[in-house]
Chain A
Amino acid sequence: MTEKTNSTSTASAETSRTRLRAGFIRRDLYGVAAIVIVAAAGYVLFPDNLALLTRIIAIALLVLSLDLVTGYCGVATLGQAALFGSGAYAAGILSAHYGINDPLLMTLGGVFAGAVAGLVCGIVMLRAHGLPQLVLSIALVYLFHEFANKASSWTGGSDGLSGIVLDPLFGLYEFDLFGHTAYFFGVVLLLIVFALLRIVVRSPFGMLCRGIKEDPVRIRALGASPHKALIKIYIISGAVAGTGGALSAISTQVVALDALSFTQSAEALVMLVLGGTGSLFGALVGTVIFMLFEDFVSAANPFHWLTMVGALLIAVVLFAPKGIFGTVQDLLSARRNRTGETRP
């Protein structure tokens, strides 16, 4: 039994709070440092392949956005690319049709369009649960795809949206042919989004979302509305996916219909499961592994790369259901506990 005597315990509670906050900040800094190190390593190791690396970042933003609704809130969706594609088209259309060529404004346009698409998809999808919800998500991404296809005077239809022109970033850095500027821009976007999402998932709202995933009835008995919270997370998720879409439009200067395809949505889900749902790092790790794997294996053996991705996925689902990142994390903490060190 612990009887906390008031004077000492208030002090100790306060130091434990300070320690907790320091722990959060330290872990965030580790996360940011890890991203910077990997990004720098990519830059040094693959200087001729920056386009691929930038694409990985764009898709990583899509997978992060999926992690918010699926990993943190338990909403299964196969239509997340609808939000990504909305961002990509918005950024592209701003430049191609309105002559707004400032990359920052284009990105903001993508963020906004993604958030609106998130709101729309959220409102529709949250009317159902389970399997019908999954079907709705597929229907939505097909509708978005078909809409973009039909509105060809705006989107270029199946030819893709071209005519995107870019002003220099901050009026200083030209988007060069080798993709240096685009890559740096992407890394910075990813760092900003990552830092913001760390704050969100740790906030009261993030905790509410975790609760909704586990037991919405319980959350309702606390007086909170799961529906409202899920709409909100969908808007946030749309903004993140839209950022990814905008980055993809800016870095490639075209937007293809694939950006809002079912295939892209399903691949994003595969990457998330591969890396581990419910953790921001899981989403990043899954994306990087999947896309590098795709690039290398498809170059080495174009006929069987999908077979190998399938085998990898089965192995992960069966033997490491928490995903690659989640499993490694478990192993590390198990080892740390064995060596007698206490967890923070």
Chain B
Amino acid sequence: MSAVFEVINLKKAFGGLVVTNDVSLSMMAGDRVALIGPNGAGKTTFVNLVTGALKPSSGEVRLRNEPVTRIGPTGRVQRGLVRSFQVTRLFQDMTPAEHVGLAVLQRTGKSAQLHGNFLTRPAVMEEVDDLLERLGLYALSHRKVREIAYGQQRLLELAVALALKPSVLLLDEPAAGVPQSDTGRIEEALANLPADLAVLMIEHDMDLVFRFAKRVIVLAAGTIIFDGLPADVTKDARVREAYLGSYANAGLKA
């Protein structure tokens, strides 16, 4: 089986600060990878680089063997590379139904239509209802986003990403900022992601990482210092060193 997502020798520097240093990795369909690392390690920057939001200094990104480094962010989404945001980016005055509806319309090439309202289109709304229901948001379909809890907004962020039917999903701290009581719902949603989807999840909560990931990559100061099984990550000397003094140390001692 060949890789759906490949990053080859990716580099990025902001002025003199190297934030992504020769990063290479590849993922297969169905992979569940956790990308961890101390604050400021360059995890979000990595997502910004591979999705095309930032331009790398050098290196290549491939989707199903097609180089996409020269393709803009929208072209990469259309080819199946979808991300979520560390801090929720949703439209405050729109409803969950509108969010997911817009994503479905965009995926099916209808987001530029000048007539009709998707809320009255059975074909779109069936998919919208179905997705929102799967994530337990159905009851909130027509509330404004500003009125719903942050944990639910994180779930909606996930619903929007899934509505795009990605083949590679990059999740930037999907449970960040969510009260402990609500993380269960998010973890459940993560466990129910489509089986053939390749998922790379950035996460600080090590319990979540261990339950979710079949493979862990550790980034420190822009460099991959570990890429292997979750069981081995806490034993790795370089990883321990990188986390020394960092709050996440507590999680790693487990």
Q: Could you tell me which A residues sit within 8 Å of B by CB distance?
A: 1-2, 4, 9, 13-14, 17-18, 20-21, 24, 199-200, 202-205, 207-208, 210-211, 214-215, 217-218, 220-225, 228-229, 232
Contact = CB atoms under 8 A, between A and B. Distances in A.
- Looking at B51, B107, B138, which has the most chain A CB atoms within 10 Å of its CB? B138
B139 A207 contact: no
A215 B89 contact: yes
Contacts of A221: 51, 73, 77, 82-83, 85, 89
A224 B114 contact: no
A218 B73 contact: no
8 contacts: A4-B138, A204-B102, A204-B105, A211-B94, A214-B93, A220-B74, A222-B77, A223-B74
B113 A205 contact: yes
B225 interface: no
Given A4-B138, A204-B116, A17 B94 contact: no
A205 B111 contact: yes
B89 A218 contact: yes
Given A203-B113, A207-B98, A218-B90, A223 B107 contact: yes
B227 interface: no
Contact of A224 (B74, B83, B115, B139): B74
Contact of B102 (A20, A220, A222): A222
Contacts of A208: 102, 106, 111-112
Interface stretch (B62-70, B118-126, B148-156, B187-195): B118-126
A222 B115 CA distance: 20
Interface of B: 51, 53, 72-74, 77-78, 82-83, 85, 89-94, 98, 101-103, 105-107, 110-120, 122, 125-126, 129, 133, 136, 138-139, 160, 164
B74 A225 contact: yes
Given A211-B94, A225-B74, A200 B114 contact: yes
A154 B116 CA distance: 42
Contact of A222 (B92, B106, B110, B113): B106
A229 B107 CA distance: 15
Contact of A203 (B92, B117, B133): B117
Nearest to B124: A204
Contacts of B85: 218, 221
B120 A17 contact: yes
Contact of B112 (A1, A14, A199, A232): A232
B115 A199 contact: yes
Given A207-B102, A215-B91, A218-B90, A17 B119 contact: yes
A203 B115 contact: yes
Q: Which 10 A-B pairs have the closest CB atoms?
A: A223-B77, A2-B139, A21-B120, A218-B89, A204-B105, A204-B113, A220-B73, A214-B91, A17-B120, A225-B74
B76 to A, nearest CB: 8
A207 B116 CA distance: 11
Given A13-B129, A222-B102, A203 B116 contact: yes
B94 A20 contact: no
B172 to A, nearest CB: 11
A4 to B, nearest CB: 6
B91 A218 contact: yes
Given A207-B98, A210-B91, A224 B138 contact: no
Given A203-B113, A204-B113, 5 more contacts: A205-B111, A221-B83, A222-B106, A223-B164, A225-B74
A13 B125 contact: yes
Nearest to B130: A4
- Looking at A207, A211, A215, which has the most chain B CB atoms within 10 Å of its CB? A207
A1 B136 contact: yes
Nearest to A10: B126
B122 A14 contact: yes
A255 to B, nearest CB: 30
